[in-house]
A and B are shown apart, each in its own frame.
Chain A
Amino acid sequence: MSELHVDGPLQPGDRAPNVVLDAITRDGKIALQDFRGHSPILIGLFRGLHCPFCRRHIAAQAQLDAALRDKGIESLTIVNTPIERARLYFRYHPLPNLLAASDPERVSHRAFGLPNLEFTEKETEWPRKVGMDVVMSMQVDIPGELPGPMNRLAAAEQLNKKDGYEMMEADQRMAATGQGQLFGQFLLDREGVVRWTFTEVPEGGQRMFGMPSAQELMSAASQVAS
């Protein structure tokens, strides 16, 4: 457990590291240290803008921005996309008042302890490595299509898929490009101490691609603001 804590994402009570990144939505740099002593801040560490579902998360976080601002809380969106590309994206998708920073090297993700998941053949050491055997053993359930949860092979047979979509190949490619970066949201208080987190790390991957409800986030925000 202690090792997981050292390796794993920051927990409430931990002091957030200082990270300096290129600002996307304005010129110059953004340093987390600049917020210390001024205001609490919600930091969303996302994957690249390539993922439409991540873009949905980013837009959803942005919609909470006004409510957070009412409580005196800033928010910062960090993406793995290189600065020029990210700037073009945000030029067409302006998030009013929201700060966004580019971090193609994933420095901040590492600093906050969000692992870049490695896909292996058999070795699983969550949250650093996950074996394809584990990925393959995850139960599949498609309401109306399958009679109930079953393993992938059985499901594939049942679905009798025609267009030759191969899961293995997809995952291996994902592994090859090292795109197992997990994402997370961290709420820091005025002193730069983590007060609330939501990451994909806990529960052995069951929360991958998960998202906290707006209610949970806002309730944590109220605590930090008070």
Chain B
Amino acid sequence: MLLFTHRPTLELDQFGSSRISHTTLRLLPLGDADGQRLLAAYFRHGWREPPGRLFSRILDRAGGNPLFLEEIIRGLIEAGTLERDGAQWRMKSDKAAADIPASIQALLLARLDRLPHLVRLLAQEAAVIGPRFDAGVLGAATTEPARVEAGLELLCDAEIIEEIAGSNSISLRTYRFTQTMLQDVIYQNLLLQRRIELHGRIGAALERLYGNEPERLEDLILLGHHFSLSASKPKGARYLRAAGDRARASYANDDAIRLYRQALAVLLANGEGEPERLILYERIADLCGAAGRRNTAEEHYQSALEGHRAAEDRIGEARILRKLGRLLWDAGKRIKAETHYAEAAKLLGGIDAPIEWAHLLQERGRLAFRTGDHVAAASWADEALGYARSVPADADQHAGLEAARAIAEALNTKGVALARVGRHQEAVRDVEQSVAAAEAAGLLNVACRGYTNLGVLYTIVDPAKAVEVCRRGLDVARRIGDLGFQARLLANFAVACCTFTDRCTEEGVPAAEKAIEIDRALDQREHLSVPLIVLGQIHQCHFRPDLAALCYNEAIEVANETGEPQQLFPCYDGLATLSLDRGDMPEADRYFALAHDVCARHGLDPAGLIVLPFLD
């Protein structure tokens, strides 16, 4: 008997003979457990430090081929990544196993070189599509569509690719490279110019197949990927941005940020695409701001701001200034926020930009509300509504959505301002309308702001509804991944729990603590004192005066940064009543006077702040 091994080959005929019979035994790839055993045998003398994920990286790369496995290890030793330390092994760099050893590259390329010329070209085109590819896409992108079916069959026979989703129709079949290294090596050995050309052809083929607004997000990402690597880089960036927008619309915010960043990197490498670049800076900043990554958000807004300034786009500049102002207010920097709003208003002077005016006036109204100027807040909000409602009904989709956002936000601001001046029924009506408008336009984060306030406003109308609204809001905030609103809703939920249910300790305390944790993590200085006050109130209610005082005192420190009356009042009032319980009348008197002053300065009714705390 003659036993011999050989690589997959197309020419099996040479073994054919009528005088001998032969049997082919196909060696299957090594399974992970066998691969691990082989590696353990190579490194049987042990490790100085645990090799971490090295083994699994080598196994992934080798794809079950023991020769590759051995060659990868040899390559790592040659490169000095792995070395002997006495009897044991040591890994010098964590980036091990990233490169393909030259010995394997040559081996793999030799397999490709044995293929007929046209089949080799087909393999190259397939490798540019990716480690797995649809025959339909390859057929649409190749220069020789008539030869695709036969070519793929040959590549399968040579075990360079394999079919993974079978179908009678060739165009519906999906294939993958038998070795991911194989695809990698073929791709890396293409001339840069040819790669660029092929990516362009594949992008164009995908456009022909799926259109330029494909239904599936994956197709949009593919279009972005191929065009980004083609000569039409700005087009690739646009597709990536569209994919980011699609992800953002479904609140997959991390994916959206990643896609926007990819698009931005493409444009920056290309050194062009100014208006597109500014959009990307702004969108990344918007998402980072909502996720509490304020520094990143600020950096990106600044880049956008510079761009709009250079392009003398005053509306764009005003918009970014407004957003920066909001970011500053979140960090408790009231005066800086006001300065930014004022600068934005100056830029917009005399410009017909109803949507930007509406947003800016609404933000100014909101800030006025939070600083205790409720009459001004209601009037800013009314002005904002006037502008937003002047946007024609047949405006484009983006303008329509922005108008809806401004209307929903302004109604909310107006509602809470009216609540503070005692117009309770109108307040509830306006905030309810705000939530309805936000929900109708699919603006869930705006709806969350409404839920936060309804949870407070329903207090004396319908307590059960107050708790229910907080729960509903929390569900939504969680679903859209908005941590800022989660903290707000958790704090108000704790208040509702402790006022209306017996679940103060079970639900109120953990909710308040969670809100504090989020506010600290996100550095939400304009809100942190709220959950601190709530926790202080719970401690006070449960006869833990020392803990309550700690909370109130910390809350005062934070609230002093913004000077917000609805936060300062309950701190002083809490410390006053704590003194009252101790029988320390002079101290109680002092704190009551401070609480009274806060209200007197802003023309607020203390009872109103007790019944309707923490509106926004």
Contacts and interface: CB of A to CB of B under 8 A. Distances in A.
A179 B502 CA distance: 14
Interface string A135-163: 00010111111000000100100010101
B499 A53 contact: yes
Given A56-B611, A143-B471, A174 B499 contact: no
Interface residues of A, number: 55
Contacts of B589: 88
A142 B511 CA distance: 7
A59 B577 contact: no
A161 B513 contact: yes
B9 to A, nearest CB: 57
A88 B585 contact: yes
Contacts of A62: 607
Contact of A152 (B464, B502, B506): B506
Contact of B576 (A92, A143, A179): A92
Question: Residue among B493, B505, B574 with the most chain A CB within 10 A?
Answer: B505
Chain B, interface SS category: helix
A55 B514 CA distance: 25
Interface string B574-595: 1011101101010011001101
Nearest to A206: B502
A179 B107 CA distance: 83
Interface in A55-93: 55-57, 59-60, 62-64, 81, 84-85, 88-89, 91-93
Interface stretch (B143-151, B272-280, B352-360, B534-542): B534-542
B413 interface: no
Nearest to B493: A143
A56 B583 CA distance: 22
Contacts of B498: 53, 209
Contact of B543 (A56, A152, A174): A174
Contacts of A92: 576, 592-593, 595-596, 606
B540 A213 contact: no
B504 A177 contact: no
A141 B500 contact: no
B463 interface: yes
A214 interface: yes
Given A84-B585, A210-B463, A49 B513 contact: no
B607 A93 contact: yes
A145 B583 contact: no
B462 interface: yes
Interface stretch (A4-12, A20-28, A165-173, A189-197): A165-173
Contacts of B475: 143-144
Interface residues of B, number: 55
A144 B541 contact: no
Nearest to B517: A162
A50 B506 contact: no
Determine which residue in B471, B499, B514 has the highest number of CB atoms from chain A within 10 A of its CB, and name it. B499
B502 A63 contact: no
Given A63-B607, A88-B585, A53 B463 contact: no
Contacts of B607: 59, 62-63, 93, 95
A32 B459 CA distance: 29
B610 A55 contact: yes
Nearest to A169: B544
B511 A170 contact: no
A177 B542 CA distance: 10
B45 to A, nearest CB: 42
A63 B506 CA distance: 30
Interface in B505-541: 505-507, 509-511, 513-514, 537, 540-541
A215 interface: yes
B48 interface: no
Contact of A52 (B490, B513, B543, B577): B577
A47 B194 CA distance: 82
Q: Which of A85, A88, A142 has most B Cβ within 10 Å?
A: A142
Interface string A188-226: 000000000000100001111111011100000000000
Contact of B610 (A56, A159, A200): A56
Interface in B361-410: none
A4 B67 CA distance: 85
Contacts of A1: none
Given A53-B498, A88-B585, 12 more contacts: A64-B460, A141-B503, A141-B507, A142-B507, A142-B514, A143-B474, A155-B506, A159-B510, A167-B506, A173-B542, A210-B463, A211-B463
Interface of A: 48-57, 59-60, 62-64, 81, 84-85, 88-89, 91-93, 95, 138, 140-145, 152, 155, 159, 161, 163, 165, 167, 170-171, 173-174, 177, 179, 200, 205-211, 213-215
10 closest A-B pairs by beta carbon, nearest first, are A208-B502, A52-B537, A92-B592, A51-B541, A140-B506, A59-B610, A59-B607, A60-B460, A85-B580, A53-B499
